Amino acid sequence: MSQVELLAPAGDLEKLQTAIDYGADAVYAGGEQFGLRAQAGNFNLDQLARARELTASRQKKLYLTLNAYLRSAEEEGLVAYLEQLSELDLDAYIVSDPGVLALVRQVDPQRSIHLSTQANTTNAAAARFWHQAGVDRVNLARELSLDEVRSIRKGADLELEVFVHGALCVAYSGRCLLSTALTGRSANQGACAQPCRWRYALMEETRPGQYFPIEEDSRGTYIMNSRDLCLIEHLPQLVAAGVNSLKIEGRMKTRYYVAAVTRVYRAALDSLLEDPQKYRFDPAWRDELDMVSHRPYDTGFLFGGGDQAQVHREDSLYRRTHDFVGVVQQVFADGRALVQGRNRFFSGEVLGLIGPTMRQAEFQVGDLATEQGVPLEVAQPNALVVTALPPGAQPGDLLRRQKEQG
């Protein structure tokens, strides 16, 4: 049981550091080639080498996504890329395409291989098939129920990974041409623009600009709008089912999102692994997850009925109770700190400070000044400001503001 891994997204080096600081056992990142999530601040080879150093120095694992579907013309390029990558000695590659799997086996045979959710593994026979082909871990299809996860555990002897948190997609494990058709950005190459979530209207050809609303409810229409996955309340069942890795979605999300979500799952998983008999779900964990930008939460297909529950019609808007306003860069001996603003914040307002291990505090912002000591009334986005923080604040802590209700 102690082997259960918490796997978090690393959209860039900053987010990788954040994921590790806030409790991830392993992170997944995209290279500049052959990974889905094309524009997620992907890592070039130098950045991957830095990421390797960072993760190794903290005894964490680093997985690289190579999960795009390969075209024949790209084969040579992948072989060359794999040769360059092999020197970095990453912990595993995440692949979907059997062709990519075969080329990894050929070029870098000792490399551990994880199968992406895009490969749609839905049964134990498929899991065994992939294991025999050289896959060490499979990220199961998102469409599975808990009973199906259990039955794959019984029938296949390789590591199982499941998504526990983040965006769901109404296309079968992410295979969809809607975005390609409407924007030229291919979901299967990692660039989905999420047009299934846009609002649509009807227009008569000779009256451009005059839109006739299509209404499913009073707010409009949401063609195939999915909720977000949140399994924080169901970790005991997943762990008991024999899942080896719990994966958080979201390489495109903010540093604040990565921090807030990772620390909650870390706290819950630690509590569960420490004493499964005494484990109790803490409602504060769920409250914390409401503080990040998300669509209404759902358990997806885990308990069946996902076809109904996954599509959300009443309110498709992203929601969050807090805004991310700054990152602590440095803490000085006198208790003041250097903070980089991410949103404007003001002297006199009340902010929250969060850190790893669910450490948090509320405080009223005191005087603000530049690094040179020039007084400020407001901290601007990206500006560095000096201000007092609650005792115990650490570099890497994040500041947030509660949004006004209503």
Q: Which residues bind ligand SF4 (CB under 6 A)?
A: 169-171, 174, 176, 178-179, 187, 192, 194-196, 224
Which of residues 7 and 196 has its CB atom nearest to ligand SF4 in the complex?
Answer: 196
Which of residues 7 and 192 has its CB atom nearest to ligand SF4 in the complex?
Answer: 192
Residue 224 Cβ, how far from ligand SF4 at the closest point, in Å?
A: 6
Which of residues 194 and 321 has its CB atom nearest to ligand SF4 in the complex?
Answer: 194
Residue 263 Cβ, how far from ligand SF4 at the closest point, in Å?
A: 27
Residue 76 Cβ, how far from ligand SF4 at the closest point, in Å?
A: 29
Alpha-carbon distance of 289 to 265, in angstroms, equals 10
> How many C-alpha atoms does 153 have within 13 Å on its Cβ side?
19
Which of residues 78 and 187 has its CB atom nearest to ligand SF4 in the complex?
Answer: 187
Which of residues 197 and 247 has its CB atom nearest to ligand SF4 in the complex?
Answer: 197
Residue 130 Cβ, how far from ligand SF4 at the closest point, in Å?
A: 23
Which of residues 166 and 396 has its CB atom nearest to ligand SF4 in the complex?
Answer: 166
Token digits for 87? 């020197």
Residue 391 Cβ, how far from ligand SF4 at the closest point, in Å?
A: 44
3-state secondary structure the chain: CCCCEEEEECCCHHHHHHHHHCCCCEEEEEECCCCCCCCCCCECHHHHHHHHHHHHHCCCEEEEEECCCCCHHHHHHHHHHHHHHHCCCCCEEEECCHHHHHHHHHHCCCCCEEECHHHCCCCHHHHHHHHHCCCCEEECCCCCCHHHHHHHHHHCCCEEEEEEEEECCCCHHHCCCHHHHHHCCCHHHCCCCCHHHCCCEEECCCCCCCEEECCCECCECCCCCECEEECHHHHHHHHHCCCCEEEECCCCCCHHHHHHHHHHHHHHHHHHHHCCCCCCCCHHHHHHHCCCCECCEECCCCCCCHHHHCECCCCCCCECCEEEEEEEEEECCCCEEEEEECCCEECCCEEEEECCCCCEEEEECCCEECCCCCEECEECCCCEEEEECCCCCCCCCEEEEECCCC
Residue 167 Cβ, how far from ligand SF4 at the closest point, in Å?
A: 7
Residue 222 Cβ, how far from ligand SF4 at the closest point, in Å?
A: 11
Residue 184 Cβ, how far from ligand SF4 at the closest point, in Å?
A: 13
Which of residues 176 and 328 has its CB atom nearest to ligand SF4 in the complex?
Answer: 176
Which of residues 224 and 369 has its CB atom nearest to ligand SF4 in the complex?
Answer: 224
